[in-house]
Each structure stands twice: as structure tokens, then as C-alpha cells.
Amino acid sequence: MVGVKQKPIRIGMIGYQFMGKAHSHAYRDLPFYFDTPLKPELKVIAGRDEEAVKEAQERFGFEAYETDWRKVIERDDIDVIDIVTPNHTHKEIALAAIKAGKHIIIEKPLALTVEDAKEMYQAAKASGVKHMICHNYRFAPAIQFAKQLIDQGKIGRVFHYRANYLQDFIIDPDFPLVWRLKKEIAGSGALGDIGAHSLDLARFLIGEFTELTSTMETFIKERPLGEMSGGLSAKGSSDQKGEVTVDDAVAIIARFENGALGTFEATRFANGNRNKNKFEINGEKGSIRWDMEDMNNLELYLSDDAPGEQGFHLINCTEEVHPYAGAYWPAGHIIGYEHTFINLVDEFFRAIAEDYQPKPDFEDGVRNQILLDAVEKSAEAKSWVTIEQELE
């Protein structure tokens, strides 16, 4: 921050693969783009594989590494614990960090069950630490601008929310049985991995759900044993096979408190779609479209445009008037996926510096977990499920 002495904020990261890389990049680049009141210091990173975590420590720019996450939390020179580990470890690590008085940023989903998510939320709320869940897509400038347009009533009463999150990275039946395909570790498959993002964006943009019905499918029941090898890649390590215990695809119909009807599809079996996270919102005065694979652009239709001039208008959300865009490049000079994490971290640090609770937080994590649970219950019962609103 020009002319102002920045206070250091010291980061301890637990986990180091795909999201560890994304979060580390955000910490390193944040002071370059934003006049942040807190300057991140990458103190220590933890992981079980000593060779791999040492490599991550050197590549990502951390001062030290540990193979026991508990030692990271015990350190006095750590202000923030960043949890980027597999889903089944979130609760234990987060509760220990809260007890130690550390601020927390955590990858989604918050936990494996609603009960665990509620326990984590209540502990964080009682402790006074700042807590944030990493639904980074909220922080694309086009998404933030869409939220402004909706809140301003630009498209009027919302009738439909239509979302698809399509990937294809496990469509090969020889793709290994990695942790993302095991219910006891991941919680769910396409539902919790990518569908959770679609559900969160819907909540952020138009509000809470009241009920839903769903169906889920697992197309490939067994796979060769293996492990993740970085990003969304994997390697097989055995000729043996194991059972896939999560969904490959899910379809959802939902109703919202504002009366809107929602439809959602999440699959990792949509050949040709690498990360097709998109939605369309239809209102009485217009419509909005967005696609993560074209993340700088927002499509806006307004029904009060003159006859002959109506149609979807393409808005390149890189102008200084667009949220976060002014921190980067001149208009038309697009930003990318990694910048959504930088924007999220900026909000997190400002909340710590100015003493307010940032969003999305553990409350949002609980509400998302309630939706994930409802989807699974509905698919199993083949019926509509009312959405629980109680957070205690």
C-alpha cells in the first residue's frame, strides 16, 4: 500500500496439490495488484509425502515445510491456516485451527456431513476468528457485476436459474480410482466436486432454496486403483480394481424462496467439456448468461430495448467500473481463473484488517452442505425434499 506500512499476515498451508498451487499463487500476486492492508508471508506448508511437499515448498515460495499438520497449527508465527486437503480431513484440521485462534480459509465442501459442517461453523462463530470457504467463482468480475445487476432490479423478478457444470476428465474407464471417487474421502462425486459451485453461485445470485428433487448416476462402477498426480491428472498404481462409491453425474430441479425455478446438471462425463461452468438467469425484464470458459464476458438481454435492437449484449467485464477489474489491466486485457483466487484472498485479508466477517464463510459452507445432503436424500428416495434452514 503506497505510503502506508503494511502489516504482515503469516500463512500456514495444509495440503499442496491443485488448490495449494492456486492459493499460493494468489498470496504471492495479491500485493502486486491490490493495495492490501496485510502483506502475506508464506511461512510453512504441510503434507504427508515429504519429497512432494518439499518440492511444493520450494516451488510455491514457502519458508519451510512439515509432514505433520499439527505442527503448523502449533506455531506461534502463523496467523492464517489455509486448508486445501481432501474433504474428509477438513473438520479435524479446522477445529484444531479454531482452537488455536487462527483465521481459516478452506476449500469446499466444508465437511462430509451437515452435522460436521454445523459443528465447524458454530466453533468458528464462537471463537471470533475470521473464516472463509473458497467458492472462488463468486469472485470473477463478471459474476460480481451480474450480482449488482440483479440486486438493482435490472432483470426484474427472476423466474428461472439454469446451470450446467460439465467436465470429462474421468470419462476413460481406465482413469484410476482416486480419492475423488471414494465417498468416505470425498463425500460425493460430481455433486460435491463441481455441482457445489453451481449451487453456491445460485444462492449468491438469487437466494436460498426451499425444496428440490434429484437423480444421480454412477456410470463406471469399478476402476483400477491409483492416485492423483497433480491438477486433475492421475496415475494407476495397481492392476487391481476397486468400487466407485460416488456419483458420476447429477441432475436437480429446485425451487427458491423468491419463487424462481432452478435446474442444475453436474457431470464429469460430458465429452469435450473441460470446465464448462455456466448459467442462465431469466427475469421479467431480461436475462443474464455466463460461462466460466469465457469468464470475462457477461451476456445481458433487456426486454425494454427498442424493437429491432433486442438481443443478448456481450459485456466484457474488464472496465474499471466492473468489480475487481480495475486492479489489473486496461479494459479489454482479460484476466483468468487464477485471478478469482486473488480477488477472494483480497476480501479475506480486508476482513481480517477491518474486523468484519467475509463471505462466503462457514455459514455458506453449512448451507451448501445442507443442499448436497438434500440432493442425495432426494435421489435415494426419488422424491422432493424440503431444504432445512436451521444452522444450529
Each residue of 262-282: pLDDT tens digit?
Answer: 999 999 999 999 999 999 999
Quick one: which H or E segment has residue 213? strand 209-217
Q: Do residues 200 and 108 make contact, with C-beta atoms less than 8 angstroms apart?
A: yes
7-136 topology per CATH: Rossmann fold (3.40.50)
Identify the helix (H) or strand (E) that includes residue 237. Answer: strand 233-243
CA gap 229, 256 in Å, rounded: 39
pLDDT in tens, 82-107: 999 999 999 999 999 999 999 999 99
Number of H helices, E strands in the chain: 11, 17
C-alpha torsion sign, points 344, 345, 346, 348: positive
The predicted model scores a pTM of 0.94
Boundaries of every domain in the chain: 7-136, 141-294+296-335
Is 231's pLDDT higher than 50? yes
Look at the block and give the residue holding cell 469435450.
272
Same topology between domain 7-136 and domain 141-294+296-335: no
What's residue 354's pLDDT? Answer: 97
- Lowest-confidence segment of 3-12, 339-348, 376-385 by average pLDDT: 3-12
**Cell numbers at 93, concatenated:** 484440521
Write the pLDDT tens digit of every residue in 181-228. 999 999 999 999 999 999 999 999 999 999 999 999 999 999 998 776
The gap between the terminal CA atoms of the chain, to the nearest Å, is 40
- Indicate the residue type of 94: A
CA 104 to the chain's CA centroid: 15
Looking at domain 141-294+296-335, its CATH architecture is: 2-Layer Sandwich (3.30)
d(CA 191, CA 165): 10
Q: What is the pLDDT of residue 60?
A: 98
Split at pLDDT 50, 70, 90, the class of 126 is very high
Kindly tell me if the per-residue pLDDT of 174 is higher than 80: yes
Give the model's confidence band at 1: pLDDT under 50 very low, under 70 low, under 90 confident, else very high: very low
CA atoms within 13 A on the CB side of 209: 30
Question: CA 81 to CA 108: how far, in whole Å?
Answer: 15
Q: Is the pLDDT of residue 249 over 60?
A: yes
The arithmetic mean of pLDDT across residues 348-375, rounded, is 98
- Report the candidate in 125, 228, 243, 203 with the shortest Cα–Cα distance to residue 374: 203
pLDDT at residue 84, rounded to an integer: 98
234 pLDDT band, cuts 50/70/90, is low
